[in-house]
Chains A and B, each alone.
Chain A
């Protein structure tokens, strides 16, 4: 593996290898006082974030540091980016300055793919591109599900919410199916891409508008974040994708009553940041079967594993 650009193009063997490494790293580091491995000493990792995202950036930064890589953070404000430098020039500059790996978060779908095409000998990790993909999120979700459900083969996972705009949904649809899970999408029709039926075979990825009907018999439910500006009642002139936050919450929010429809063993995921009381009830987010904090913890180990597979030399592997 040279880059991690999408879950769609991540093969089963590579995905399993990353998850196995993450599990091993987690086990190794669990009871250690000093959680630092020497594996990537001397390697330079740069995070290039064109969107604010404290959680993802920090997770990558910690992952890099625990692997002993030198981690440098570049944010779109406070760098030449804000002076209008092109993406290509910024990427080329970071590569020339010695980056071994760039981790890219960008509002434009496909930006990390472009950078991977421009740079030679530098690994590119997609940390979320527009509405396209967020592969490390899907990997950490898969790691969490594997841990809690004992595996993914044949498991039924619901992805609920704004699928249209969600890179988390796109990455999970691909990765979870690669790993043998059955994925069902639950969303209002306005929050599903037109052309859905030709993108994903309906027989393989069923779509439902009715959350209550889907919850019994599911092994995991993944609630997507709903951005308030997508909903009606906002000040801008764009038509909302949904009449109101209240109606969204009533129709698609994971309330306490809804959570009770889940089988006992089922787990609840959320990529964060959560809007408590909107897409998920506060008590549900904090319940026994919620794995939201575990997702964050696993995020670090999964990202360590990704860095390891992309950057570790053959001798250190």
Chain B
């Protein structure tokens, strides 16, 4: 099977034709002859390596009423992703080889995107004793990222052991940085808006103290640390400082923390409730700069589907989290490309290359070059669209961007030579 993508611009540069045969890019040039290939006229579209999401909640097993590996894979493919890392906080928790192998196999069976399971750091996400990280690493799922996301590995000794132990597996610990004693009952970013609205505060320092602690631990132990969803100016400063000291730390930022602020909380609509919470304008600016600078390595969605009844209620009763897979590119275009902070090489770096490297996912985040795996996304940078939450592929509809007009659309997604999504529909 072969395909010819005509007139695309790799990294937004000069237009070329890209020939894909089997799973590999076999020819790049101008005026290529179609021969047997299926031809895709894609004049002027930007071609990037397929996106990789380090932080996705697929909800299967456990909450198939909100998302399944199938529906989440569809959302991912439509959002330009060729690989997603599935978070461990399912029910049962992915804290053993059986669950991670199941998730991995289901992902392969669906086949729209590579579903790479993340294993829990501790048994049951309880933060008390290490899960069998080795068994998960050696399983057919080949787990290389461990995280208790949703919960912080708060006990410093448990975190130390996890960092130390993961060195022997070539793995990384992805920390949800939230000092639990500083966030008891927390409902919103601690600041002027929480004060006005009477919502218990989630202080920026609760994130920053854990990041600082873990950077120091990782530095001393020579272990690898990944910071999930960095949300504060101070958090970005901690990572900048740690990287300057040579600590092997990476960090991600979510699309919503690049675009939205706690100003949105005024109506108490829990669609805006997320953990860590939406922060302030000064944080948003600092996060954008840190991403442009490389202090933050990548954009990760923290795609978190929730059922209507878990959002259509009073603020404090609602679950935190937002959909993100199908809107991530547009938010990055809005916040990073249109502002001149990133060029398309930069977008490829933060949405594909770095997340694949951090997660140890060979075959993704590769250059667009002959001989490389054909994992591609073709996007229209000039198109705009209005987000309709109910039309997204996820089962749940909790998108904070509902009704918002955003720039940049994914036109075609290619996973190892196979078109998975094309013109807004699954192929």
Contact = CB atoms under 8 A, between A and B. Distances in A.
A110 B269 CA distance: 9
Contact of A110 (B184, B195, B197): B197
Contacts of B201: 193-195
Nearest to B318: A108
Contact of B197 (A87, A117, A132): A132
Interface string B259-301: 0000000011100000000000000000000000000000000
Contacts of A109: 187, 197-199, 268, 315-316
A303 interface: no
B312 A88 contact: yes
Contacts of B378: none
A167 B198 contact: yes
B316 A130 contact: yes
Interface string A78-116: 000000001110000000000000000011111101100
A198 interface: yes
B32 interface: no
A70 interface: no
B312 A86 contact: yes
Contacts of B199: 109-110, 130-132
A7 to B, nearest CB: 12
B370 to A, nearest CB: 55
Size class of A's contact patch?
Answer: 20 to 34
A8 B190 CA distance: 20
A225 interface: no
A195 to B, nearest CB: 4
Nearest to B203: A194
A106 B315 CA distance: 11
Contacts of A114: 268-269, 313-315
A308 B380 CA distance: 57
Interface in A241-288: none
Contact of B314 (A110, A195, A238): A110
Interface in A154-210: 167, 170, 193-196, 198-199
B195 A193 contact: yes
A167 B268 CA distance: 16
Contacts of B184: 238
A129 interface: yes
A198 B261 CA distance: 15
B197 A194 contact: no
A193 B191 CA distance: 8
Interface in B160-195: 184, 187, 190-195
Nearest to B185: A238
B184 to A, nearest CB: 6
Nearest to A131: B198
Nearest first, the 5 A-B pairs at minimum CB distance are A110-B268, A132-B198, A131-B198, A193-B195, A198-B192
Interface of B: 184, 187, 190-201, 203, 267-269, 309, 312-317
Given A111-B315, A117-B269, 20 more contacts: A8-B196, A86-B313, A106-B314, A107-B316, A108-B317, A110-B199, A110-B314, A110-B315, A111-B314, A117-B267, A130-B199, A132-B197, A132-B199, A170-B198, A193-B195, A194-B191, A194-B201, A195-B190, A195-B195, A198-B191
